A = this chain, B = another copy of it.
Amino acid sequence: MSGPRLAVVGATGIVGRELVALLEKRRFPASSLSVFSSGRTRTGVRFRGRRLRAASADMRRLAECDLVFLASSETVARRLGPALARRGVWVIDDSSEFRLDPEVPLVIPEINAGALSPRRRLIAGPNCTMTGLAVAAWPLHRRSAVREIRIASYQAVSGAGRSALSEYFQQSERRGGFAADGRAPLPRRHPARTLPRPIAGNVFPQVGGFDAQGHTGEESKIASELRKIWGAPRLRVSATAVRVPVVRGHSLAAWLRFAGPFPAARARRLLAAAPGVKLRRTGDYPSPADCAGTWPVHVGRVRAGVDARELALWIVSDNLLKGAALNSVQIAERLLSLGWLNQT
């Protein structure tokens, strides 16, 4: 079979498995797929009816590919990304390692596919929380520049990786501290190891570590990555990133502030026509339970904020799909349609 030779590093992780599944579902015309994992887990993944065994990441084998997806850690990205790109291999990295590097395009195809270039083979995919916001607010920002953004997030546990998810399941098995009469205080005694607090029956405003100004890593990523992707260096962003007991699907309560009035009805018209966006009808709204496993960014509850110059929106997207694996595959599809991927 003709088509580019692909590899996925981190293929047995939460995002990597989604990536492999998407390559098959979206019929990406790969001539081969090699899968690698970072060591501990030696399980395989299914692709086109066959079971592929994950090997240790191997520079020699990776350098023979046309396109490598990195769905692994910052450390792995640092070790493999630039070296592969130098050898002419396309690399699409989902870690945060290179996102703010001025030499690396940070790409959401619906927004800035123009940042792709045959001379920049290392490409970064953005933070999963920021992605839903960037896609949903983009058609509005294009119409009238957004000046200020405030968002509060409701982030699924899968965004913190597999061990966080196991921790959540374990805490839930112990009944999450639900008192039968709803009166007793909650899961004080649950072990919290990967996550900084118990998550079953709880919510907490910490995703990543704190900086000197009191912002978490996630909150800083949301602000700086959004500015880069939109090409809006002076955009003012304030985020409160919160973990919630949801398996998958990040939700956002967002406020967008414009220089002048922006009627909700106009916003709804723009959103209804926007690529990658699924607008719910008035009175309906998305929730993680009905968005998990789907591809678009779902938007609902479009209405005025504190005054006519502000819009409030509710945004839900699958953090493992559009927030990670799907966006990477869409970047690859774009490279393919631009004719930049080796087709032989």
Instruction: Give min CB distance, A304 to chain B, whole Å.
Output: 7
The verdict on A73 contacting chain B, using a C-beta distance below 8 Å, is no
Residue of B nearest to A305 (CB): B238
Q: Decide yes or no whether A244 CB sits under 8 A from chain B.
A: yes
Tell me whether A142 is interfacial, beta carbon within 8 Å.
Answer: no
Instruction: Determine whether the beta carbon of A244 is less than 8 Å from that of B214.
Output: no
Contact assessment for B312 and A186 in the assembled complex, using a CB-CB cutoff below 8 Å: no
Report the minimum CB–CB distance from A11 to chain B (whole Å): 14
- Listed from nearest, the 3 A-B pairs whose CB atoms lie closest are A152-B152, A214-B303, A152-B253
Contacts of A2 in B (CB 8 A): none
Please give, as numbers and ranges, the residues of chain B lying within 8 Å of A187 by CB-CB distance: 289
Residues 231-262 of chain A, each 1 if its beta carbon lies under 8 Å from chain B, else 0: 00000111010101111110101010000000
A244/B244 contact (C-beta < 8 A), A178-B172, A186-B292, A289-B202 known: yes
Question: How extensive is the interface on chain A, given as a class?
Answer: 35 or more
Specify which chain B residues have a CB less than 8 angstroms from the CB of A101 in the assembled complex. Answer: none
Does A59 belong to the interface (CB within 8 Å)? no
Stretch touching chain B among A28-36, A104-112, A204-212: A204-212
Residues of chain B lying within 8 A (CB to CB) of residue A183: 14, 17-18, 248
Determine if A141 is an interface residue (Cβ-Cβ < 8 Å).
no
Given A177-B289, A202-B246, also A236-B306 (CB < 8 A): yes
Which residues from B are CB-within-8-Å of A197? 287, 289-290
A49, CB-defined interface residue at 8 Å: no
Decide: A253 and B285 in contact? CB cutoff 8 A: no
Q: A42 at the A/B interface (Cβ < 8 Å)?
A: no
Q: Is A98 an interface residue (CB 8 A)?
A: no
User: Do the beta carbons of A214 and B301 come within 8 Å of each other?
Assistant: yes
B203 close to A247 (CB less than 8 A): no
| Interface core residue of A162, A168, A186 (most chain B CB under 10 Å) | A186
Tell me, in angstroms, the Cα distance from A289 to B188 when the chains sit together. 6
Q: Indicate if A182 sits at the interface (CB-CB under 8 A).
A: yes
Q: Does A215 reach chain B (CB closer than 8 Å)? A: yes
CB distance from A166 to the nearest CB of B (A): 9
The chain B residue sitting closest to A310, CB to CB, is B238
Q: Are A245 and B307 in contact (CB under 8 A)?
A: no
Determine which of B185, B201, B244 lies in contact with A203 in the assembled complex, contact meaning CB atoms within 8 Å.
B244
Q: Contacts of A206 on B, CB cut-off 8 Å?
A: 285
